[in-house]
Structure 1
Amino acid sequence: MQHIGVGYFGYYRATAYAMKHSLMPEIAKLRMKALNFWDKHGIRAAADALDVSTRTLYWWRRLLRTGGPEALIPRSKAPLVRRSRHWHPDVLKEIRRLRTELPNLGKEQIFVRLKPWCEARHFTCPSTSTIGRIIAGAHDKMRMIPVRLSARGKARLIKKRSVKPRRPKQYRPVKTGELIGMDAIELRMGDLRRYIITMIDEHSDYALALAVPSLNSDITSHFFSKATKLFPVAIRQVVTDNGKEFLGNFDKTLQEASIKHIWTYPYTPKMNATCERFNRTLREQFIEFNELLLFEDLNLFNQRMAEYLVLYNSKRPHKSLELMTPVDYILRESKNCNMWWTHTSPVNAKQKCHHRCETEMSCFGSENAFDRLAIYFRAFSFPNRNHENDNFLVYNLVYKAIA
């Protein structure tokens, strides 16, 4: 049976805060009562009634003025500097020797062998519990780790696992670009494999995707570094799973761009639920109808997927956005200048904007939007790619979105 507060974010913190102020200890209430009595009848009468000195009453009043009623609650009187263990170095060496002679020997067995050794040398023998605390307080826990050999017979070093930053519980982004979810979809047909890299902004649902013939950290890094140019705002954080495609060069690219990389726990896709849900939508509305094309003509598949992404980002209503499109939601959310890319049509796209936007959604700068995005899609290309449809692809992805 679960407690009533399970599932409610901040329930226990709010409860503790209310308990702290509404159910003050009796001694704090007594001090508050003494100060009120002082205001009515004078300090001498209050000191005689409560059998305390006037000096103590002045101290309570100072606490009340500086810290409020909760400052009258007595603090812990435990000493700041406490006693530490001081055992003879030979005793500590003997405990370590016993743990080495019989690897990882328990504290009870060590006590049986250590007691006669200490009596023979007139040392005080630590108790069983103290031996356990001595072992736990050692920097290496006095633990012996066997040497593991590689296939070539050489000693293999055991690397300490680094702690990855995880997504905080109940965390929800409140701005566009604050958190981007990324994932990869694997599709098979016989012995052939194709992969689709997806990324979506968890606040505005603005999404991009690209089909690739293989998947590794180099390709994922290449995709991300170019896809950021199609995002209307700067990206601050990226959440991914622990797949190999999000390690290595991809993680290095995020570090160089000062973007925080957040990892999900293993086998916990719900920590990246927005991107997982976008993967399902992409499967049901597009991939299942063009799966054969994915294995026959990858470039044509990407071209049609770009047309679908235009509909997804600019025409398709989203329930999570109050039946608005991601582009409309971003435009309503933030103010920007008239030369921003969603306000620029193919006619005036050749004009150069030197205006500095007041928000994060800045203009494309000195280059016109069409040329810049054409360069972006050419940078996506793999060896032997045909660039004939680049301009058509850019037109579908950008200018149909702002029509």
Structure 2
Amino acid sequence: MQFTTVGREIWRGARQAQRLAEANASDPEVQERLRKLRLVKALRESKKSWKEIQDLVGISRATYHRWQKALKEKGLAGLKPRSRRPKHLRTKVHWTPGLLIRIETLRKENPTWGRWSIWLTLRKEGFQMSERTVGRILAYLEKHRRIESVAGYLARTQRGKLKRRVNRPYAKRKPRGYEARAPGDLVQVDTLTLTLGPGSMVKHFSAIDLHSRFVLAEVHSRATAKLSEGFLSLLLARAPFPIRAIQVDGGSEFMAEFEEACCALGIALFVLPPRSPKLNGHVERMQRTFKEEFYTLYCAPKFAPPHRSV
């Protein structure tokens, strides 16, 4: 029988390989951190500032010292990234088929109910669960298309209730980039409904020129297209300049006779998109001034009869 001995260098190499394997030295993240530590050490020896080192390597001074300390105390195992898994995980709650079916039934019977309404009903029926659990079940049912979302249901049911689009023979949208460069280039016109007292209501017509800030107002008891046509005639008579374009909202008082009068006079008529009062901001602000500085001080018995221009 022949006995052989293992050399000291071979033994040390085996032990080092074992330690590297235990430290997960083949881990790409460990190798990357070790490379950065060596690079920072080389840059420090070349008298580079920490700001330059941070820009070049991508780690801060505190991170370098923390990694260096971990490497010294634990070896390569200290460079292994810590687990980001939360220490405390929420225990998964398994929903019972009865609860799932009941929530689905309630939602189909009441398509606009949210999680709170369904949770309150279930509590009265004896079910024990949190409101958030009901919300998670509703999300699960919506994801698997077993129920319809509230927003989808409302959009589907209101689709047929939308107002029919009115065909405007002359009015059009204001062209992009159109600006009022001279008096009369663009006049904003709008109406304001004001309640002055019990059974007392007026319609305040306002017009403002965007360039000169010329303002004209008239009060009526109603707002009709015929009265708007009369207000247009008054505006043309009182304005000290020719009017070339008018901008209005989609109100019915600015259709029919008013639109026909603009067409006959060759005045461009721009109509705003629905629900866009901000695009008529000048006349809206002027109406607020009338309301705050005039109508707040108004006494109903002393008010002059309607159809009076201001």
Question: Which TM-score bucket, shorter chain as reference?
Answer: 0.3 to 0.5
Identify the structure with bigger relative contact order (alpha carbons < 8 Å, sequence gap 6+): 2
Larger Rg: 2
**TM-score (normalizing by structure 1):** 0.33
